[in-house]
Amino acid sequence: MELIVDAADQSSSPDDGLRSRDGRLASRAAHIVGQSWKWLKWPVGLGLLAWLYYSNRVALAQIAAAPKNWTFAVLAFALIGGSNLVTFARWYLLVRAQEFPFRLRDAVRYGFVGLVTNYVAPGSVGGDLFKAWLLARDQSSRRAVAVATVLLDRILGLLALFLVGVVATLLPHHFHESRELQVNTVLLWLGSSAGLVGLALMLIPATTRWGWVNRLPRLPGVGHIVGELIHGVKLYQSKPFKVLAALGLSLVGHAGLITGFYFCALWMQRPWVPDLTAHFVFMPNAELIGVLGMTPGGVGTLEFAIEKAYVLLKPDAVPEDQADAAGLMAAIAFRVVTVAIAAIGGGYYLSSRREISQARSAAQHST
């Protein structure tokens, strides 16, 4: 019997060794790909943007040479900048609902850090990581909950984006309902429905009383963190109006952002631009594509999505190359405005950081 067992062990050991080696090789390959992608994000995004520009270079040159309506540029800057401030206030409400010591000024500073790092941090996973790190750094406890506020802020923002699109699909419109736009509408409704169900489950107190939920804090290793998160959910359940107010701010912020984009398109003074309702219909999924594209700030992927949306929405009388160029030029104008706002915000963050450092230094010297 022992001989049979030994023979079985010996016969299986080469396969086990191969599987183990294959697993190590796969893990190493995944690590190399992940590290490489951190530095390839910018080249990929800029390469896609360059390809879009080259494909529409003649029409873009015509648009660039045409006169511009700078009133719309000012309106776009004001709306997009104000919408970003509204989203910072949304995060502030979510953090304060967790009873963290946190000022609105801090939310603005950290929010601008998120905007800047979306563009200037090579290989970054987005500005949310930096916001989460800055907030957690300021907390002596419940750091997992501090990080979770950033995640909830992003989820509420995405839900509000879908809800804005859903409302737009119910309004009268003049564009042709192609199959692609019908799929866009279905995605908006599915995303909104799933988000509202998830939000309701989070705010219903019964969910944190489920037996399996209360057993989660006893998990080895991660139980303490899970317990903190459950406590954070209970705090939100005790203050549902703050969460709903944050969702309301998100609706206002996204409405302002999309309207700002529409003004960017009008700024370019094209003979044809989709109306505002059409922008509310396609922009939510275009922004989602920009996020899923995994390029810094959605560079390249957002422009591609908007360009294709303009082609889908164009009337028969508008040539496809003109719709292509109009969408790309509007997206570039939007990019210019958002980068300018991020740069101004970065300057605000650096100046306020110096003020805080000076205040701390003065306090130390006085003691």
The pLDDT tens digits along the chain (367 residues) read 444 444 444 444 555 554 454 445 445 544 444 444 455 555 655 665 565 555 656 556 666 666 778 899 999 999 999 999 999 999 999 998 888 888 898 888 888 888 877 765 543 446 777 788 878 887 777 788 888 888 888 889 889 999 999 999 998 877 777 888 889 999 999 999 999 999 998 888 888 888 887 787 778 877 777 777 777 788 888 888 999 999 999 999 999 999 999 999 999 877 788 999 999 999 998 888 887 776 766 777 888 889 889 988 888 888 888 888 888 889 988 988 988 888 887 776 676 665 545 544 544 454 4
Which pLDDT score, from 0 to 100, does residue 30 have? 44
Helix (H, G, I), strand (E, B) or coil at 315: coil
* 246 in Cβ contact with 156 (< 8 Å): yes
Note the pLDDT of residue 98.
87
- Quick check: 225 and 144 in contact, CB under 8 A? yes
Round to whole Å and give the CA distance between 251 and 156. Answer: 9
E strand or H helix at 335: helix 320-366
- Which pLDDT score is estimated for 74? 94
Residue that is written with structure tokens 């003074």 in the block:
269
DSSP 94-143: HHHHTT----HHHHHHHHHHHHHHHHHSTT---HHHHHHHHHHHT-SS-H
Predicted confidence at residue 81, as pLDDT, reads: 93
Q: What is the pLDDT of residue 124?
A: 40
Q: Provide the token pair at 363.
A: 């306090």
Supply the pLDDT for residue 19. Answer: 47
Amino acid at 247: L
Show the tokens assigned to 100. Answer: 């963290």
- In this prediction, residue 216 carries a pLDDT of 78
Does residue 184 contact residue 279 with C-beta atoms inside 8 Å? no
Alpha helices (runs of H) in 204-293, residue ranges in sequence order: 211-215, 223-238, 240-267, 276-292
Up-side HSE of residue 87: CA atoms within 13 Å toward CB?
28
Residue bearing tokens 């706002």: 341
d(CA 22, CA 154): 37
Give the count of beta carbons closer than 10 Å to the beta carbon of residue 293: 20
pTM exceeds 0.85 for this model: no
Cα(309)–Cα(265) distance, integer angstroms:
13
Tokens of 45: 């995004």
Contact yes or no for 281/168 (Cβ under 8 A): yes
The single-letter code of the amino acid at 236 is Y
With beta carbons less than 8 A apart as the criterion, state whether 349 and 111 touch. Answer: no
* Location of structure tokens 């000076």: 358
* pLDDT value for 244: 93
pLDDT at 190: 95
Domain ranges of the chain: 42-359
Give the burial class of 265: count Cβ atoms within 10 A of its Cβ; 0-12 exposed, 13-18 middle, 19 or more buried.
Answer: buried
